[in-house]
Structure 1
């Protein structure tokens, strides 16, 4: 039988400590502020807008703005630049780097997985308490400030 006490405990939430940690990325061993801290949403959105604009510009100049060509150039930029340098033009301007959890370079295979999941559009919005999307969790990556 469910009692008032049981309901009060459930309504009040769990008694376990905050699963997210005190700041985004604490559970991953990231700093609270400055370099190597989690990149905020503003930086991430700015990076996506810049990268997409570059892909759109290329597509408009040489391929009459075909949407699949735009997507293809965006994916190509993500895989090549993130796989080799850990950052894209947009992420560099926004001061973001994509690394594996622990700080090592992500590498082409992880970046390919991350990009494929990112292109499903929904996965970046399904975030964990640290603010990492499904695409970053599956690939084992994190976006940090440079």
Structure 2
């Protein structure tokens, strides 16, 4: 009787371990496309990621670089004032998207051009995505604008 209980416990522990390993593998498999690393334009220029890697890039839309092509195709350059990366996007840009404003894009680097599948722009006059602020601070060019009430 004692040997049977010990054997049953070992089977339950082994089954629990297999279930835990299986669920961890499923979570990792499900999240593999949901994790996008953020890079500044300087990081992209210094160490270009492979064309298969989806990542996020952020910075300021370079003044004078916004060009609207045929249909919904838009090209512009994103900069952190140290490096500039050309961006191509096919779709409708957010209403507040503008030159010299903060943006974050998701996509891939193809032949030196960031081909975006999604573009996010700042939502009011004082907001800039945290990743963009951190990258600009790292470059020493971020200037915080104090809000009118603060």
Q: TM-score, normalised by structure 2?
A: 0.28
Q: Which has the larger radius of gyration?
A: 2
Higher helix share: 1
Higher strand share: 2
Q: Which has the higher contact order (CA 8 A, sep 6+)?
A: 1
